[in-house]
Amino acid sequence: MRTVASDDHRSHHSTELDRGRLGPSWERPERADLILEAIASARLGPIVPPAPLDRDLLARVHDAEYLTFLESAWDRWAAEYDAPAAMGIAWPSRRLGRQRPEDLVGQLGYHSFAADCSIVSGTWMAATTSVAIAQTAAQIVADGDPVSFGLCRPPGHHAMSDQFGGYCYLNNAAVAAQLLVERGATRVGILDLDHHHGNGTQDIFFARPDVAFCSLHADPLQRFPWYLGHADERGAGAGEGYSRNLPLPLGTAAFAWMDALDHGLSWLEGIGIDALVVSLGVDTSIDDPISDFALATADYPPVGRRLAATGLPTVIVLEGGYATETLGPNVVGVLDGFLQRG
């Protein structure tokens, strides 16, 4: 198994507003470093750098105006404000207009949906490298490898076509799926295993039949992102029937979570997919400081074995997971299980 990784992620460490307190984000550089160290120690296979990002591929997933905004936001902010992070203060919520403002602070609100996600000097470089990692991991599989792992940081599954939030700026899993479609897959399945619903990925593919999306996550009536991820969201237009959400109650233990995983995999296989992209969040761990499921480290190798049992070409990209002591072992557990080593 080839792991795609880069040190560029270290340029990004944002600020978030969390339950009334402004401070460093839970999504911090040490996450990727701990996982990379665990992968190297487990000798899972070569660790390779990403190929250059295909900007045209990225633009087929994200809105062009949004990409221009995101690339320029920090320089514009630094020219106007003496503050360490660029953040919006108002969002176009219910009964507010949807016209894009000209002012930078207004645009920060227009192009985001949560105050847990700010822009700093290294955000654009880290986010584009993270997408390049996913693109390269998908290319490895498209070229014939059965599986690859993209150590993506920042994560991506909350990023919509023109909005960032939930620690995510560009949608890594969506770019991986788009590449596989363009390389000949008839239909790609995206399986989101993060504790939180992959609202961005769902939004990008909601009206498309060539990418099916399935997510296991905490009930959005109780947890972030709150406004998407309900069981009745099944796609629209040509994509009707190609989205499946499996919301789970807080405190869900491994046996119930595994049942949902089996259901999701069965659904994806039943609608006919010929490649799989896995948004792997290990914030399902009982140790995770900001999540509410109860998987133990020993539960992660069986997850990998279930994924491998599909026999599908599989791209695994990193999403969430914030329990630093068990983060590396949990990710390695999934990868080990896929390789039938764990």
Q: What is the mean pLDDT of the chain?
A: 97
Tokens, residue 262: 């089996």
Q: Which amino acid appears at position 312 of this protein? A: L
3-state secondary structure of 274: coil
3-state secondary structure of 58: helix
17 has a pLDDT exceeding 90 = no
Q: What is the pLDDT of residues 212-249, one digit of tens each?
A: 999 999 999 999 999 999 999 999 999 999 999 999 99
Is 158 assigned a catalytic role?
Answer: yes
Residue appearing with tokens 């972030």 = 224
342 has a pLDDT exceeding 80 = no
Q: How far apart are CA 248 and CA 46, in angstroms?
A: 36
Given pLDDT bands bounded at 50, 70 and 90, which one contains residue 341?
confident
Q: What is the pLDDT of residues 151-193, one digit of tens each?
A: 999 999 999 999 999 999 999 999 999 999 999 999 999 999 9
The second-level CATH assignment, the architecture, of 2-12+25-52+125-338 is 3-Layer(aba) Sandwich (3.40)
Question: How high is the pLDDT of residue 98?
Answer: 82
Q: What is the pLDDT of residues 186-209, one digit of tens each?
A: 999 999 999 999 999 999 999 999
Burial state string for 160-172 with b = 16 or more CB within 10 A and e = fewer than 16: bebbbbbbbbbbb
How crowded is the C-beta side of 73, counted as CA atoms within 13 Å?
Answer: 31
What is the per-residue DSSP string for 172-200? HHHHHHHHHHHTT-S-EEEEE-SSS--HH
Question: How high is the pLDDT of residue 308?
Answer: 98
Question: How high is the pLDDT of residue 330?
Answer: 98
Q: How far apart are CA 280 and CA 319, in angstroms?
A: 5
Lowest pLDDT segment from 83-92, 176-185, 284-293, 327-336? 83-92
**Sheet with 314-318: strands ordered across:** 47-48, 2-4, 147-150, 314-318, 275-280, 188-192, 211-218, 243-248
93 has a pLDDT exceeding 90 = no
Question: How high is the pLDDT of residue 134?
Answer: 99
Q: Which residue of the set 111, 157, 158, 195 is catalytic?
A: 158
Q: How far apart are CA 9 and CA 302, in angstroms?
A: 29
Question: How high is the pLDDT of residue 49?
Answer: 98
18 has a pLDDT exceeding 90 = no
Q: What is the pLDDT of residues 103-142, one digit of tens each?
A: 999 999 999 999 999 999 999 999 999 999 999 999 999 9
Q: How far apart are CA 200 and CA 204, in angstroms?
A: 6
Residues of the chain with pLDDT > 90, as a percent, come to 94
